[in-house]
């Protein structure tokens, strides 16, 4: 049985909370649809775009090593074993490799099936998958990582994927 590291749980929760509280959900779908749509509408890029160097330092001090990106790059410590689909918009990393969040924009008709297939080709096993033509969610695991993937399409047809990665 694997024991959860309280520091890892707090770090991943803090990153996720920062992403969710920096957004607003205006749709009338399920709660998951509303959260995902909120992430799509506001996203990591807006959250990070408003954080100047002084605030970044404060976040780092408070959360003990959290890294945020909004420049089209994944956090430096993001595991290369996790395949991403689409153009990276930004993300965050918890301290000491405790977890990562990355958001991508899918183009050219790509959607949940494409992002899920990339994970499965890399050896990840799917569980709890639910999707439709415009959105989807699934948990994927390997020997080293768990990836929670959510994909949503906003009202303008922009498709984004959010990857929440935690080490096992």
User: 32-44 pLDDT, tens per residue?
Assistant: 555 555 544 444 4
User: Is residue 57 predicted with pLDDT exceeding 60?
Assistant: no
Q: Give the residue with greater pLDDT, 109 vs 60.
A: 109
| pLDDT of 103 over the 80 cut | yes
In terms of Cα–Cα distance, which of 153, 84, 164 is closest to 116?
A: 84
Higher pLDDT: 39 or 157? It is: 157
Residues in CB range of 153: below 8 A, 6 or more apart: 40, 111, 134, 135, 159
Average pLDDT of the residues in 125-140: 94
pLDDT score for 53: 52
Q: Can you tell me the mean pLDDT for 26-33?
A: 52
- Range 3-11 average pLDDT: 55
DSSP string covering 5-36, please? Answer: -HHHHHHHHHHHHHHHHT------S-HHHHHH
CA gyration radius for the chain? 15
């Amino acid at each position: 049985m694997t024991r959860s590291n309280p520091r890892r749980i707090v770090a991943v929760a803090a990153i996720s909370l920062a992403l969710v509280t920096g957004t607003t959900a205006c749709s009338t779908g399920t709660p998951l649809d509303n959260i995902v749509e909120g992430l799509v509408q506001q996203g990591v890029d807006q959250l990070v775009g408003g954080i100047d160097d002084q605030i970044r330092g404060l976040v780092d001090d408070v959360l003990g090593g959290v890294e945020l990106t909004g420049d089209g790059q994944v956090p430096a410590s993001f595991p290369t074993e996790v395949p991403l689909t689409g153009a990276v918009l930004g993300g965050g990393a918890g301290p000491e490799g405790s977890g990562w969040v990355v958001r991508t924009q899918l183009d050219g008709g790509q959607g949940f099936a494409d992002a899920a297939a990339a994970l499965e080709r890399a050896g990840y096993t799917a569980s709890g998958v639910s999707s439709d033509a415009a959105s989807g969610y699934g948990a994927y695991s390997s020997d080293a990582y768990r990836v929670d993937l959510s994909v949503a399409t906003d009202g303008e047809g922009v498709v984004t994927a959010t990857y929440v990665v935690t080490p096992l």
